[in-house]
Chains A and B, each alone.
Chain A
Amino acid sequence: KAGVTQTPRYLIKTRGQQVTLSCSPISGHRSVSWYQQTPGQGLQFLFEYFSETQRNKGNFPGRFSGRQFSNSRSEMNVSTLELGDSALYLCASSSRQDAKNIQYFGAGTRLSVL
């Protein structure tokens, strides 16, 4: 099975712009979670989608949003970018049938905001 795929791998944007990141989960996985990783805050949960519905949300401003499509692929969007949004954005997929909720991570999208 192919792993979790994130595109693009690298992005450079300027303040005020918006950005969309994409995540394709492992085939058959219906849950996709997004995390932000920074040197200052570590790994922080953004939100989780399951069957096209947001199930959980972390403590991030409304500029961070996401969605999930019927094929379980997910996108996250960050509007009005700030310098502090520079980070590695990771998505993780999980099978609803997996009682351990094991999450498999993608390689991430590294976003640099100038």
Chain B
Amino acid sequence: GESVGLHLPTLSVQEGDSAVIKCTYSDSASNYFPWYKQELGKRPQLIIDIRSNMDKRQGQRVTVLLNKTVKHLSLQIAATQPGDSAVYFCAENEYGNKLVFGAGTILRVKS
């Protein structure tokens, strides 16, 4: 039979533009939120993370914002490059090392 997959949202941007990927989490007790990038056929790689005692964290070309009031996360990627094309996952750490992942967002950077 035909399999049904998750319908991942897709964000397409022009090379050099910024991309903003949004995510919601479910558990108000979560205290650690990593973002992973997964290129096709490759392993997930951590690109940035944030703890619940912070509202904003910046890395190289990436910024993560955390709004605990509405349980929202956003990832901004500045000056996008074709190599940024991938699936991006937010995750929340509920306890121990258990990560609960979002469905993911496909980012396509057009050159």
Q: Taking chain B's interface residues, is the majority helix, strand, or loop, or is none over half, making it mixed? A: strand
Q: How far is the CB of A100 from chain B (nearest CB, A)?
A: 6
* Complex Cα–Cα for A40 and B4 (A): 6
Whether the pair B99, A103 counts as a contact (CB closer than 8 A) is yes
Whether the pair A107, B42 counts as a contact (CB closer than 8 A) is yes
Decide if B111 is an interface residue (CB 8 Å cutoff). Answer: no
* Chain A neighbourhood of B104, CB < 8 A: 42-43
Q: Which residues in window 54-111 of B have CB below 8 A to A?
A: 89, 91, 93, 95-104
Interface contacts (Cβ under 8 Å), in number, total 67
Q: Which residues in window 7-51 of A have CB below 8 A to B?
A: 31, 33, 35, 39-45, 48, 50
Contact partner, B99, options A33, A40, A108, Cβ 8 Å: A33
Query: How many of B's residues come within 8 Å of A, CB to CB?
Result: 27
Contact partner, B43, options A48, A56, A90, Cβ 8 Å: A90
Q: A40-B6, A41-B6 are in contact. Are A102 and B100 (CB under 8 A)?
A: no
Query: How many of A's residues come within 8 Å of B, CB to CB?
Result: 27
Question: A87-109: contact bitstring with B at CB < 8 Å (1 yes, 0 no)?
Answer: 00010101000001111111110
Q: How far is the CB of A90 from chain B (nearest CB, A)?
A: 7
* Complex Cα–Cα for A35 and B49 (A): 19
Whether the pair A56, B46 counts as a contact (CB closer than 8 A) is no
Whether the pair B89, A101 counts as a contact (CB closer than 8 A) is no
Contact partner, B98, options A56, A102, A105, Cβ 8 Å: A56
Whether the pair A42, B98 counts as a contact (CB closer than 8 A) is no
Binding site for B on A (CB under 8 A): 31, 33, 35, 39-45, 48, 50, 55-56, 58, 90, 92, 94, 100-108
Since A35-B99, A45-B99 are in contact, a sample of 9 more A-B pairs with Cβ atoms closer than 8 Å, ordered by chain A residue number, is A40-B5, A42-B102, A50-B96, A56-B95, A90-B43, A101-B32, A101-B93, A102-B46, A105-B45
5 residue pairs from A and B, CB less than 8 Å apart: A31-B97, A40-B6, A42-B103, A104-B46, A106-B43
